[in-house]
Structure 1
């Protein structure tokens, strides 16, 4: 009984049905946090004394970078759970997380380039953190491709999970790159221990943006996973019943018109 909740989490049907209820309140919450956080940072945070208004891209860049890294761990953990306990749902989560992480990594690199031009005088520099973020993008892209090229879904899941686990070594390297090598990037401005180097008037909207991005990531992961569930479980009885119920609802809503 103690592990019943864990096995329920591994059930695609249970997750699909429960997540339908989560989306009712979670989607509006995410939208509100995104609008308030980004508006606060881009429109109302004070101008930086050294970088002027160009620093405002931090409210988009930093949360995207944080989620690109944290999302890789989520993907790798899901792959590990799928390998160890041979559950279907974690593999679906792993596959769904890959394109989201890739998109966030692209956003990180793009906004970093836009920020780097007025700050460093160039859109791209072969800086240690830039290089390993590019490696992160290749890892995400590799998992996206592997998930599609294998003729066997089980083989694709295992290959993706192994690549995801091997690639986790890249994430701490990105975190510590500014400490281990000469880097144009500044050290971490927000620290779990010790004081922050960002003024509270800039820190609070940044923290709100980070929270909003985490909610957005969660929302996107739920939606992608629900789609993957329907694709993989399309021949099961419960998905057929779900499709029939939605079709009946649409017919009733349209008054039975063809």
Structure 2
């Protein structure tokens, strides 16, 4: 049953038909979580003892950074599934994830620069964490560029998947950069294997924002994937029928 469901999920038509019911729930839950998290973090969380109110950009910077990394893994895994099992939908998901991941990486870099000015006295330093995040942005852009560089989708899909897989080497470097090298960037405050160093009054609104960002990412990814599915499958009978029905 699990194997059958896995192959069914690889069908563009099945995904398009089933995902239409998911979008309103994802959108509503994401907006609610983001509104609650933003109001909680910006309006009610206490000031930081050292950074004052400037730390509050963490409620955008950290979720965007998390999604930039997780989204790259999702893009690379989708590409690998497409290469191994020849699933058309996985390649579509890979392509849909690239611009969303690039946008989130840009937001992470921008908010990090804004945060760096009052904290470090400068918007930018060639810090190990920041530099590796910039490389991540260029990897996303590279996948986007490759997807448009070939006239045949099959060649573009394989090239994008290979670049995405090679680029996964950069993800653990980003994560461990603050431990491996001397860096201005602060160590991770949220840890899975040990207690977090952030106060609960600041952590809970941050967690709300992170969950909201993940929900928004899922909504945006599904929406973009559906659009690319229609573009790729426009010659098929089921898409022609949808277009005729105005759906």
Asked if structure 1 preserves the Cα contact closer than 8 Å seen for 2:46 and 2:202, the reply is: yes
Identify the residue that residue 29 of structure 2 maps to in structure 1.
29
Asked if structure 1 preserves the Cα contact closer than 8 Å seen for 2:10 and 2:90, the reply is: yes
Identify the residue that residue 110 of structure 1 maps to in structure 2.
110
Counterpart-to-counterpart distance in 2, 1:78 and 1:201: 37
Give 1:24 shift. Answer: 2.5
Asked if structure 1 preserves the Cα contact closer than 8 Å seen for 2:26 and 2:218, the reply is: no
Counterpart-to-counterpart distance in 2, 1:122 and 1:244: 56
Counterpart-to-counterpart distance in 1, 2:157 and 2:55: 41
Asked if structure 1 preserves the Cα contact closer than 8 Å seen for 2:26 and 2:216, the reply is: no
Identify the residue that residue 77 of structure 1 maps to in structure 2.
77
Give 1:111 shift. Answer: 0.2
Identify the residue that residue 166 of structure 1 maps to in structure 2.
166
Give 1:92 shift. Answer: 0.2
Counterpart-to-counterpart distance in 2, 1:198 and 1:82: 40
1:133 paired with 2:133, answer yes
Does the residue aligned with 1:3 lie in a helix, a strand or coil?
helix
Counterpart-to-counterpart distance in 1, 2:19 and 2:40: 30
Aligned pairs (5 A) from 1:35-184: 35-184=35-184
Mark the runs of 5 or more structure 1 residues left unpaired by the alignment. 248-258
Higher relative contact order (CA 8 A, sep 6+): 2
Q: TM-score, normalized by length of structure 1?
A: 0.94
Aligned pairs (5 A) from 1:188-199: 188-199=188-199
**Are the structure 2 counterparts of residues 42 and 2 from structure 1 closer, same or farther at C-alpha, using a change threshold of 3 Å?**
closer
Does the residue aligned with 1:149 lie in a helix, a strand or coil?
coil
Q: TM-score, normalized by length of structure 2?
A: 0.99
Identify the residue that residue 8 of structure 2 maps to in structure 1.
8
Identify the residue that residue 236 of structure 1 maps to in structure 2.
236
Give 1:2 shift. Answer: 4.3
Q: Deviations over 1:203-229 (max 9, x none)?
A: 000011110111011011000000000
Counterpart-to-counterpart distance in 1, 2:64 and 2:26: 19
Give 1:42 shift. Answer: 1.2
CA RMSD of aligned residues (A): 0.8
Does the residue aligned with 2:114 lie in a helix, a strand or coil?
helix
Give 1:237 shift. Answer: 0.3
Does the residue aligned with 2:246 lie in a helix, a strand or coil?
helix
Counterpart-to-counterpart distance in 2, 1:231 and 1:43: 43
Does the residue aligned with 2:20 lie in a helix, a strand or coil?
helix
Q: Deviations over 1:29-58 (max 9, x none)?
A: 111111111121111111111100000000
Identify the residue that residue 219 of structure 1 maps to in structure 2.
219
Give 1:178 shift. Answer: 0.3
Give 1:25 shift. Answer: 1.6
Runs of 4+ in 1 over 3 A off after TM superposition: none
Q: Deviations over 1:77-113 (max 9, x none)?
A: 0000000000100000000000000000000000000
Mark the runs of 5 or more structure 2 residues left unpaired by the alignment. none
Counterpart-to-counterpart distance in 1, 2:151 and 2:234: 18
Give 1:114 shift. Answer: 0.2
Q: Number of residue pairs matched?
A: 247
